Homo-oligomer: A and B are copies of this chain.
Amino acid sequence: MPKPTITDIAKALDITASTVSRALAGSPKVSQATRMLVERKAAEMGYERNVLASSLRRGVTDTVGMVVPRVNRQFFSNIISGAEAVLNPAGYNLIISQSHEHSEDERRAIQTLLRNQVSGILISHSIETKDAEAFKDMLASTGVTVIQFDRAFEGIGDLCVVNDNFECARSATRHLIESGYERIGYMGGDESSNVYVDRKAGYMAAMREAGLEVNDDYMFSNCITRDKGFYNAAKAVERGCGALYCAGDYAALGVIEYARDKGIKIPEDFGVVGTANENFTDVVYPSLSSVEQNSTEMGTAVAKAFLDIKSGKALNTDKIIIPTRLIVRDSSKRRKY
């Protein structure tokens, strides 16, 4: 037999569907007796509310969509996990879509979510997405709550949640300076992203504050992969660089491997600090100092912000900053002199 509906329950009890609906919804305007009866019958028949019909009728859904570049990246899967932990107990469920770092996929994902009448969209933009015009257009006149996180554009959506990328880079760089390294360089990513703009600025600030000059010979952008890190480490060393703050752990890993290849001693002769605290950082040898981004916390913050907005709670900010934390491991533990 097919799935039972409230009408089936109503018939079985010789009452109307509205009463059943009210009883199941926990409405106070229904007698204890009938409520019991309805609940028992519903359980007996294995009834489950049809969310489609309910949402259609109510005009709202309890579904939230999240768009990330890739789910199989630790940072994002932690965010998903954190968001779920907050959203599910609150009665919402999460649809995940991937942009695979492409604007077109991102656009499609958003459209699908919109068609599914999600009540909110939580998004971290693809690297290919350079501005938010298309995004803005799509969302126009839909009442969905939009929260951007990590990679965010100004002036779009209800709120954004980001790491303190400036401070992240600043503290890491300062740590290298204080550990006695000299001629400290920077490896970063594409500067169309707020993330790398801020990290670069943080690095520069730390250098400036210490009265050190920034040398373009030691600056590498578009350098966040293991290969690029390895490749550019060679250039950096050749040019006399003594330490690198890397805005990504994979590049930092490449640096360590280059050093190992060339017999350059880390941390004695060269210092490295990465970013993201990937799960290989305390496995690589020497272990890699890195900045923890608290990604799970970012996920819970995004979800909480969504719930707050939905419940009409005024948020006294349009930007939530998730703090980062420098974790010092062996790759930057030089004895000061």
Q: Please tell me which one of the listed residues B61, B96, B140 contacts residue A52 in the complex, with CB atoms under 8 A apart.
A: B61
* Interface contact B98-A116, CB-CB below 8 Å: no
* Interface contact A116-B51, CB-CB below 8 Å: yes
* Residue count of chain A within 8 Å CB distance of chain B: 48
Q: Please tell me which one of the listed residues B70, B94, B111, B140 contacts residue A95 in the complex, with CB atoms under 8 A apart.
A: B94
Q: Does A32 belong to the interface (CB within 8 Å)?
A: no
| The stretch of A21-29, A184-192, A280-288, A318-326 that contacts the partner chain | A280-288
* Interface contact A3-B115, CB-CB below 8 Å: no
Which single residue of chain B is at the shortest CB-CB distance from A91?
A: B112
Within 8 A of B (CB), among A63-100: 63, 70-74, 77-78, 80-81, 84, 88, 93-98
What separation, in Å, do the CA atoms of A55 and B56 have in the docked complex?
Answer: 10
Q: Does A312 belong to the interface (CB within 8 Å)?
A: no
* Interface contact A283-B253, CB-CB below 8 Å: yes
What separation, in Å, do the CA atoms of A234 and B115 have in the docked complex?
Answer: 57
What separation, in Å, do the CA atoms of A242 and B238 have in the docked complex?
Answer: 44
CB distance from A77 to the nearest CB of B (A): 4
* Interface contact A96-B80, CB-CB below 8 Å: yes
* Interface contact A95-B95, CB-CB below 8 Å: yes
* Interface contact B48-A111, CB-CB below 8 Å: yes
Q: Does A155 belong to the interface (CB within 8 Å)?
A: no
What separation, in Å, do the CA atoms of A81 and B140 have in the docked complex?
Answer: 30
